Amino acid sequence: MKHIRFTDGKTYEPSKIIGIGRNYVAHINEMNSERTEEPVIFLKPNSALHDIYKPIPIPQNMGSVHHEIELAVCIGRDGKHIPRADAMDYVEGYGLALDLTLRDVQSAAKQKGLPWALAKGFDRSCPVSEFVYKEQAEQVNNLNLRLMVNGAVRQEGNTKQMLFGIDEIIAYVSRFISLLPRDIILTGTPAGVGPLQNGDTIEASIDNIAQVKTSVIRDK
């Protein structure tokens, strides 16, 4: 899968997936990371996209694979140097994403000061739900995110806890990278990240955006 799907059945292929790191204080603390003055940005290739309603294959023998539930923003218009005040006009819609992370690979990279490309960009590291158009989404700055594994709550948070709001992220990223229609921005994860295992059941929800139930299988 290299496309995303909206609730009306329309499918689109984004030119890129942009991830934001360290956007919730409680997650920064659990990772023993430092808060940064500017958003931490990384990229996932389109080959990371996966239909979240299908079992999620996770890599074997690459260390732990962590779940990170995130509000995904789909961009609707071309933009460069987008002013923060106009940024929300560039949004097409919203979805639920998992920013799956090879945590051991990432930790090794961090220690050496090396990029996170493989830890964040491996195949199917970005399962996404259907997207809703922004007209159907309400109060995106006050949405509850919740992820359960095998019936136990792992992650809970609210988008109002984001250090950098959606408008700030769009303005910041577009200073460096042109945004194109259907690009996806992952807005960071709340606390409670943890490892996934073959056979796990995941239930994830973001208020009026998406409620999904899926499972984890071994990748070949």
Query: Is residue 189 part of the contact set for Mg ion (CB under 5 A)?
Result: yes
How far apart CA 220 and CA 218 sit, in angstroms, is 6
Which residue in the block uniquely carries the two structure tokens 């919740």? Answer: 146
Contacts 24+ apart (CB under 8 A), 11-16: 12/74, 12/181, 12/182, 13/46, 13/182, 14/46, 14/49, 14/74, 14/180, 14/182, 14/183, 14/184, 15/180, 15/182, 15/183, 16/43, 16/44, 16/45, 16/46, 16/177, 16/180, 16/183, 16/184
Nearer to Mg ion, 16 or 133 (CB): 16
* Distance of closest approach, residue 3 Cβ to Mg ion, in angstroms: 21
Nearer to Mg ion, 31 or 148 (CB): 31
Token reading at 38: 């500017």
Nearer to Mg ion, 68 or 207 (CB): 68
Query: Is residue 92 part of the contact set for Mg ion (CB under 5 A)?
Result: no
Nearer to Mg ion, 23 or 214 (CB): 23
Nearest to 192 by CA among 43, 21, 28: 28
Query: Is residue 71 part of the contact set for Mg ion (CB under 5 A)?
Result: no
* Distance of closest approach, residue 41 Cβ to Mg ion, in angstroms: 11
Sole window of 65-73, 89-97, 103-111, 146-154 interacting with Mg ion (rule: CB under 5 A): 65-73
Show the site string, 146-185: x = touches Mg ion by CB under 5 A, - = not.
----------------------------------------
Query: Is residue 68 part of the contact set for Mg ion (CB under 5 A)?
Result: yes
The residue ranges that bind Mg ion (CB under 5 A) are 68, 99, 189
